[in-house]
Amino acid sequence: MKKSWNPVGTWTQLTSPRRVKQWHESDGSLPRLSPTGQVSIVLPVYNEQVGIQRTFEAVLQYLKTHPNFTFIFVDDGSLDRTKQMITTGIHIAKMPQIKLLSYKPRAGKGYAIRQGVEYAEGDLICFLDGDLAYSLAHLDLLIEKLQTCDVVIGNRRLIQEHQKDVRFNRKIAGKIFNFLSRKILNLQYSDMQAGLKGFRQSAAKQLFSRQILTGFSFDVELIYLARQWGYTIGEIPAKISKKHQKKLSKVNLVHDSIKMLLDLLKIRFNDQLGRYH
């Protein structure tokens, strides 16, 4: 699939990073991170013109107290005014900590995040859903947890009231996916698909360079690879915004359950065929 790149800001073409052996201190712990180290946040967006101004304003507010952060919006081939609105916002704000990568045609959320990760230069690299289904306040928890882990994933099930607000079809789909993940990939995590994850730079570059899936299950593939390669994985509570909870669910139990199964089998077969090495 040919891509037409149109980044706002400086673009550096990165080659796929080589697989690297993770380094730990002599006592087995990870090296401590500088509190002023650079942090890159990837925000994938697609047809978000209705809510993109709210997201952009939240980012501007957050940067006032976090000047060492860089936010990278990745427009996944939007057909509305998302790209134009972000471009205008960057021009008015005149803040070098906000970037935009844009391409066409649409290639999927996993592809968008991978492009953002390749571009990112932070000591830590995180991603959140572009509609801020999880508030920017979660970033502080991610950064804190990354002091002791290579990879950190948001887990909606660690919020007690979460299950009461989840629509029935989403709840059943989640149970099916977790069951299949345990049986096929032996992954015991209770929530692997929240759009809230963080990585140390070396882990992010290695994992995303081997990523194959770009759609529904791309983040499960990343977690599977992280476990296979010995990266330490932590979890933090992920609370969905009330506004996002009110969105109509697009989950189709039959269709999406079949898609889940096929994606998990692809991960298993790709590993057995040596495509991750």
pLDDT tens digits for range 56-103: 999 999 999 999 999 999 999 999 999 999 999 999 999 999 999 999
Which of 21-30, 92-101, 133-142, 226-235 is predicted with the least confidence, judged by mean pLDDT? 21-30
Cα distances from 214 to residues 63, 106, 113, 208, in angstroms, run: 29, 11, 9, 10
Residue 239 Cα to chain centre, angstroms: 15
Q: Which residue has the higher pLDDT, 210 or 159?
A: 210
pLDDT at 129 over 70: yes
Which of 83-97, 158-172, 227-241, 251-265 is predicted with the least confidence, judged by mean pLDDT? 158-172
Q: Which residue has the higher pLDDT, 168 or 196?
A: 196
pLDDT for residue 78: 98
DSSP 42-95: EEEESS-TTTHHHHHHHHHHHHTT-TTEEEEEEEES-SSSHHHHHHHHHHHH--
Class of domain 39-272: alpha beta
**Short-list 127, 96, 114, CA closest to 212:** 114
Boundaries of every domain in the chain: 39-272
**Cα 142 to Cα 145: distance, rounded to the nearest angstrom:** 5
**Cα 146 to Cα 153: distance, rounded to the nearest angstrom:** 10
pLDDT at 259 over 50: yes
pLDDT at 12 over 80: no
Q: State the pLDDT confidence band at 229, using cuts at 50, 70 and 90.
A: very high
pLDDT at 268 over 90: yes
Q: Which residue has the higher pLDDT, 14 or 43?
A: 43
Q: What percent of the chain has pLDDT over 70?
A: 82
pLDDT at 178 over 90: no
Joined tokens for residue 173: 């789909």
pLDDT at 173 over 80: no
pLDDT for residue 260: 87
Contact 89, 56 (CB under 8 A): yes
Instruction: Please state, rounded to an integer, the average pLDDT across all residues of the chain.
Output: 86
Give the mean model confidence (pLDDT) for residues 105-111: 96
Instruction: List b or e across 175-192, with b for residues whose CB sees 16 or more CB atoms inside 10 angstroms.
Output: eebbebbeebbebebebb
